[in-house]
Amino acid sequence: MCVTALAAFAVTIIFRTSTTANFAQGAISAFGCYVVADLLNKHGIPVWIGVFAGVLVGVVIGVFIDLLVFRRGRHVNELGKQIITMGFVSLFFGGIPLVFGTPERIPFEAFYNTVKAKTSPNFVIPALGGEIVITKHAVICLGITVVVLAVLFLLLKYSKWGLGVRATASSEFTAELMGIDTHVITAISWALACGLGVLAAVMYAGGGTSISAAFMTTIQVNAFLACILGGFSTFYGPVIGAVLIPLAASCVGFLANFKGFYGISRWQMVIVYVLLLIAILIKPEGLFGKKTLKKV
Amino acid sequence: MDIKQEYLSAAYPGGAKKNIGSNIRAVFANPLAQIALVGVVLALVQFLALGGMISSAFAYALGNTLIYAIVAIGFCLLLGYSGLASLGTAGFIGLGSYVAFYLIEGMGAPYYVALLVTLAVSITIGVIVGFISLRIEGIYLAIMTLALAEIIRSLLMVLKATIKININNIVLFGVNVNEKAVYLLITATFVILMVLTSNLIRSPVGRAMLAMKDSTSASQAMGISLMKYRLLAFVISTVYAAMGGLLYMMYVRNMTTATSTLLTLSTSLNILGAVIIGGAKSLWGTTLGTFIIYGLQSMFLSKIRFFVDHPAFITMITGLLIILVVMFFPGGFAQMLAAFRGWLRRKRIERRIRAYVDDRN
């Protein structure tokens, strides 16, 4: 859930500032995650520094993409920009196995085993005759996500940079006329988005997922859907959407406890996607979206 | 002499001589003749392979590439002629292959029944998804189809671990056939779809799609229903992808749903890459692009050691090519070729004029 929220925010900020859906988000995150995994496993660097380095790699990639491709490709139309990001997906899908060799691995296993030896990975809360099990991993992720997103939203609302982003988002041309350096703004948002993506990927992989070049695809699909559900026109909409989607999924999963819905957990995501389709059918601009009017 | 006449006679000295070859040339300028010629050549490859003159592995790889070319033609119509990008191609291929498996292996249905059911299913799904995601402009189609492809992939994984068709169950018009005959079927399908698509492009429908791509607002003002033509293009591309899946199942006959790369995002991206690199506005360009991305890999590069060890390298190059082509040659290889031919012609005429002027001096 936290992972999706971060990824959704990253997608939105690029969508707003460079008017393109960044399909390479997942692939770039996976690349950063591989860097972190390598640092942890091969060089034995502590987690915090490793994550920091990974995020830095993400930031550098983001800035490079913006500088080398998107700044030059301003004349390329919206569809072309999307296709360029799809090209990046292909580039990273090919590049990751070349750079990091073996395609699949569980990066944080060694790290987990040492932690597990000392403490139980779960918090157990007794409630209503049963027990609710929450993994410490989830708590840590939730903490990081809340802090990061809170800081970002405060910055967006009150800092000069945030004002620049919002101005660029509403109209790049006008923002430029008003003396905002839109080049810097888009570069920063690419850096931010890719950095956040790497953070999200590390958090996701930290749950014991095996990573491969495509392991973020599901998360990314969810993030995109969250953006659509929440509406691209606000920054908070996608985050709320990102919370709603896994929530709906767990609600559907919870139904499996009742008789008659026994096999439902296999169809969990399918049902959620269908619900989403219905939501979009009813409110195409998203739950928190505003309708945009287009002048000819 | 009139200066224009003088110029013409200098630039095209053999103006009269051309008439001899122009009949043949006129025939081949007709797109239908071109398609038929390519179809005959492709079919000939299989017969040569049967005769032992070409390795059968080559013919097999060619058949595989043709399947992707069929999918790519549909995608070309969607991307190049309607300006919509979909990422669900892999999902629709998976859909087609599952329908093929279910009907042919599970129920023992002959080819044409499988074909009809595939058409019906893909049209239904295409209309539903298209209708929902095309209601709004922009990136929604790409995202929704991406989600749909993921749904179909997980659905197939739940339904069946390995999809496998027994060779004895493939019946074509009452005769039990092997993959060599299926190759001919693929070629025939390719030719038929190529003809249909090239006719469609030159029809009012195709013109409406082009207008829609260039400016949605202007085309709407001209009375073109955006929804109708977008939906049409999307459904056609869905149908072609499902046909590709059907043919793939009959040709390869085996697929492991959890590990097959056919069902993942990379297939959709490769098809997209093929269309972009080849030239999104040209059917021949698209076919060429498919041969670059799939054909080179399976027919030629598979002999080189380096690419066998690092298959990912090809994916990487595809990505790089997509980015470069979109940035510098939006028309793809088709545009490059046309530009090159124009340049050659200009050079030739320039040379003739210069020689003529030198002569006169």
Burial zone of B337 (CB within 10 Å; 0-12 exposed, 13-18 middle, 19+ buried): middle
The answer to whether residue B113 sits within a structural domain is yes
- The number of domains in chain B is 1
The answer to whether residue B213 sits within a structural domain is yes
B199 and B69 Cβ atoms separated by less than 8 Å: no
Name every chain A residue with its beta carbon within 8 A of the beta carbon of B292.
Answer: none
- The number of domains in chain A is 1
Question: From the list A83, A92, A266, which residue is nearest B326 (CB)?
Answer: A83
Q: What are phi and psi of B209, to 5 degrees?
A: -65, -45
Partnered with residue A211 across adjacent β-strands are: A105
Owning domain of residue B292: 18-330
The answer to whether residue A231 sits within a structural domain is no
Question: With an 8 Å Cβ cutoff, is B217 touching chain A?
Answer: yes
Q: Å from A121 to nearest chain B CA?
A: 29
Query: What value does the CA radius of gyration of chain A take, rounded to a whole number of Å?
Result: 20
Question: With an 8 Å Cβ cutoff, is B276 touching chain A?
Answer: yes
Answer whether B319 sits within 8 Å of A94, measured CB to CB.
Answer: yes
Owning domain of residue A198: 2-213
Each residue's pLDDT tens digit, B142-198? 777 887 887 888 778 777 767 777 666 666 666 666 777 788 888 888 888 888 888
A54 and A32 Cβ atoms separated by less than 8 Å: yes
Instruction: Please determine, for residue A27, whether its predicted confidence score (pLDDT) is greater than 70.
Output: yes
Name every chain A residue with its beta carbon within 8 A of the beta carbon of B154.
Answer: 269-270
CA distance B221 to A117: 70
Total beta-carbon pairs less than 8 A apart between chain A and chain B: 140
B277 and B292 Cβ atoms separated by less than 8 Å: yes
The answer to whether residue A241 sits within a structural domain is no
The answer to whether residue A261 sits within a structural domain is no
Helices (H), A25-135: 25-43, 47-65, 78-100, 109-118
ipTM of the complex: 0.73
Predicted pLDDT at A108: 58
Predicted pLDDT at B176: 67
Question: With an 8 Å Cβ cutoff, is B184 touching chain A?
Answer: no
Between A15 and B70, name the one with better pLDDT. B70
The answer to whether residue B259 sits within a structural domain is yes
Instruction: Please determine, for residue A22, whether its predicted confidence score (pLDDT) is greater than 70.
Output: yes
B113 and B174 Cβ atoms separated by less than 8 Å: no
Question: With an 8 Å Cβ cutoff, is B316 touching chain A?
Answer: yes
Return the residue matching tokens 């993400």: A58
Please, what is the Cα angle at B61 between B197 and B57, to 5 degrees? Answer: 150
Predicted pLDDT at A219: 81
Q: At what angle do helices A182-206 and A217-230 cross, to 10 degrees?
A: 120
Question: From the list A82, A224, A269, which residue is nearest B154 (CB)?
Answer: A269
A61 and A190 Cβ atoms separated by less than 8 Å: no
Q: Pick out chain B residues at pLDDT < 70.
A: 1, 13-28, 136-139, 161, 166-177, 257-260, 297-311
Of the candidates B311, B352, B141, B347, which has an alpha carbon nearest to the alpha carbon of residue B237? B141
- Which segment of A8-17, A36-45, A151-160 scores lowest on mean pLDDT? A36-45
CA distance B25 to A156: 65
The answer to whether residue B228 sits within a structural domain is yes
Each residue's pLDDT tens digit, A130-172? 555 666 667 777 877 888 888 888 888 888 888 888 888 777 7
Q: Å from A195 to nearest chain B CA?
A: 22
Predicted pLDDT at B316: 80
The answer to whether residue A132 sits within a structural domain is yes
Question: From the list B84, B155, B323, which residue is nearest A84 (CB)?
Answer: B323
Question: From the list B79, B83, B314, which residue is nearest A94 (CB)?
Answer: B314
Q: Write out residues 37-96 of A within 8 Å (CB-CB) of B.
A: 69, 72-73, 76, 78-80, 82-84, 86-96
Q: Which residue of B has its CA nearest to A70?
A: B327
Q: What percent of chain A has pLDDT over 70?
A: 74
Answer whether B155 sits within 8 Å of A270, measured CB to CB.
Answer: yes
Q: In the structure, what pLDDT confidence band is assigned to residue A260 with cuts at 50, 70 and 90?
A: low
Q: Write out residues 3-32 of A within 8 Å (CB-CB) of B.
A: 15, 20-21, 23
Question: With an 8 Å Cβ cutoff, is B138 touching chain A?
Answer: yes
Name every chain B residue with its beta carbon within 8 A of the beta carbon of A210.
Answer: none
Residue A123 exposure: Cα atoms within 13 Å on the Cβ side = 9
The answer to whether residue A194 sits within a structural domain is yes
Q: In the structure, what pLDDT confidence band is assigned to residue A117 with cuts at 50, 70 and 90?
A: very low
Question: With an 8 Å Cβ cutoff, is B347 touching chain A?
Answer: no
The answer to whether residue B317 sits within a structural domain is yes
Q: How high is the mean pLDDT of chain A? A: 75
Mutant choice from B128, B137, B150 vs A, greatest count of A C-beta within 10 A: B150
Answer whether B327 sits within 8 Å of A284, measured CB to CB.
Answer: no
Quick one: average pLDDT of A24-50?
77
Question: From the list A86, A224, A267, which residue is nearest B143 (CB)?
Answer: A224
Question: With an 8 Å Cβ cutoff, is B262 touching chain A?
Answer: no
Question: From the list A83, A267, A273, which residue is nearest B276 (CB)?
Answer: A83
In the structure encoding, which two tokens stand for residue A103, read together?
């395609």
Mutant choice from B81, B129, B140, B143 vs A, greatest count of A C-beta within 10 A: B143
Question: With an 8 Å Cβ cutoff, is A228 touching chain B?
Answer: yes
B176 and B168 Cβ atoms separated by less than 8 Å: yes
Q: Å from A84 to nearest chain B CA?
A: 5
* Residues A87-112: b if buried by 16+ CB within 10 A, e if exposed: bbbbbbbbbbbeebeeeebebbeebb
Predicted pLDDT at B187: 86
Predicted pLDDT at B76: 87
Instruction: Give the CA distances from residue A200 to residues A9, A63, A91, B193, B356, in Å, rounded to whole numbers and listed in that order.
Output: 11, 18, 21, 44, 70
Answer whether B140 sits within 8 Å of A88, measured CB to CB.
Answer: no
The answer to whether residue B312 sits within a structural domain is yes
